[in-house]
Amino acid sequence: MRASVILPTYNEAGNIVDLIGEILRNFPPDVEPEILVVDDNSPDKTSEVANRAFAANRNVRVILRTEDHGFAKSIRAGIEQATGELVVVMDSDFTHDPVEIPRMLHIARVYDIVSASRFCAGGNMQDRKHYLASLAYNWLLRILLHTQVQDNLGGYFVMVRDQILSLPLDRIFYGYGEYFFRLLYFAQRRGLKVIETPAVYRLRAHGASKSNFLKMLVSYSRAAILLRMSRKSPAK
């Protein structure tokens, strides 16, 4: 089996080499890794740093995107170019711990989506303020979208690639982190099997966060309301 890890990057030169090293060290021996660094033309030359460090490693590929930028669009580009039967999507700043990968890949042999959750039993987050704000907002999302998923914004997951490609990609992969609750929404409407596994989200290792809380609150809420309003339309 091959699994493709999608790493969307923007100004992650300080993290990317160590992160890829940790991912490769944590991969189970019976699964062939493919690491796809999908870089949005970072000013700090993240793509060049990754290329230099892993030029001799056939399991690491760097995809440089010079137009149509965006976090969710980068993830889609990685998924479409991946060659693994399974796809692992994770952030590139070390908030998503590579140590979770073996367990998630193992569970993905049975489930369509395995989501590393901060809010199921055993899950947590080192950034306490972020944890409490995300917990409260997830309660709102669960009410709006009628979902039983506890962490609708985590974005650290494993999924069968063919199942992702069967979903309405244009209705999912745009914007920022809200793409994840759209993905879960359409996956559940298709009857895909989703399971959450506990994970501890870490503090960013290097660099500055690109998140703007107020902007995210507005865009995520708008996205959730639009999804709620579309419940009567078919999941194409």
pLDDT tens-digit map of 117-173: 999 999 999 988 888 988 989 998 888 888 889 999 999 999 999 999 999 999 999
- Cβ 218 vs Cβ 137: under 8 Å: no
Question: What's the pLDDT at 224?
Answer: 82
78: Cβ contacts below 8 Å, ≥ 6 apart: 4, 6, 7, 8, 36, 38, 63, 87, 89
Query: Mean pLDDT for the chain?
Result: 91
User: Is pLDDT of 70 > 90?
Assistant: yes
pLDDT at 232 exceeding the cut of 80: no
